[in-house]
Amino acid sequence: MQADRQKFNILIIGQNNRLQYEAVLFAASLRHSAPGFSGRLFVGVPQPGPRWSQDPSIRNEDVLKALKQLDAEILPFSSEVFGESYPYGNKIEALAALPAGEPFVFFDTDTLITGDLAAVPFDFDRPGASQKVEGTWPKPTLYGPGFDGIWRALYDRFGLEFQSSIDSTQPAEYWRRYLYFNAGYFFYKCPRQFGARFLDYARTIRDEEIPALTGQNLDPWLDQAALALVIHALGGGRDVLPAGLLDGSVSCHYRLFPLLYARESDRVVEVLETVAAPNKVKKVLKNYDPLKRLVYHGKGAKIRAMFDRDNLPQREQAIRKVIKNKGLWLR
């Protein structure tokens, strides 16, 4: 069903750290770039509990006021499985707090909405996720198994059919042959169904002795390893959305503000600086040093001038090094 014929909710995560400022920016960019969005914007906020050594919730009154002014709803949730030991698990556990049976799109908080979400033809019956991904996991060891053996073992563990997940146009033992997503966004028709399976798979992969995973590092990639299985199990796949919309003209998962200025489009920079300008937003964001220096003090423009967007270094590490050498690596 097309997004313009069906309301859906958005979930991002907020916490008492940089995420609270990114949440304000996300909400501001949503209201600016997609004024016709008619769903609800939820900011999932983990609550204090035994899995956190300190209170992770948002307590900054200016942040809370700004989020309310931007029609964002605080959504408290408890961390029963992950918490401080694996904060990426917030995106998994928060799904249980969303309204059941209502379509949702999750976005990582370090994302800007840069276009009209109603132009994205979501089919919420078929889940999908970000394909802006690199071959970060698994990393087959010298003594095996390889990609095929590792992924096959996971599909077998959860009773999933493996062969139809394969992209046969890709060579054997090449990471792109196997279903793998970035967890920067994902969507489905019901957050409770998606979240329950996501939690089950992620917890099992973390806690169970699965021989094929011996020597594999799951921090921070546990969510992405489990996500591929969830999407396949629920009937989704690689090509459920047209290319060029999310992670393209409609959204930008920038990750870090120095990287945004170094490599993202003029449109992304324009959205960032436009939505950060109003006093009610500026009052909040200037308290976060990277935004204060890069946006409000103009240091981002200096980073931008260091790079040719049409000829960027192939490796992100090289971009980081140039920025660090100028003392502008702020996060």
Residue whose structure tokens are 């401080």: 84
- CA 206 to chain CA mean position, Å: 20
What pLDDT is attached to residue 6? 75
> Rounded CA gap, 289 and 295, in Å?
10
User: pTM of the predicted model, to two decimals?
Assistant: 0.97
Contact, 45 vs 135, CB < 8 A?
A: no
For 61-107, give the secondary structure using H, E and C.
HHHHHHHHHCCEEEEEECCCCCHHHCHHHHHHHHHHHCCCCCCEEEE
So what's the pLDDT on residue 4? 43
Q: Which stretches of the chain score pLDDT less than 70?
A: 1-5
The tens digit of pLDDT for each residue in 35-49 reads 999 999 999 999 999
* Separation of alpha carbons 157 and 290, rounded Å: 44
Question: Within a 10 A sphere around the Cβ of 269, how many other Cβ atoms?
Answer: 19
CA distances (Å), origin 252, targets 28, 200, 247: 14, 29, 5
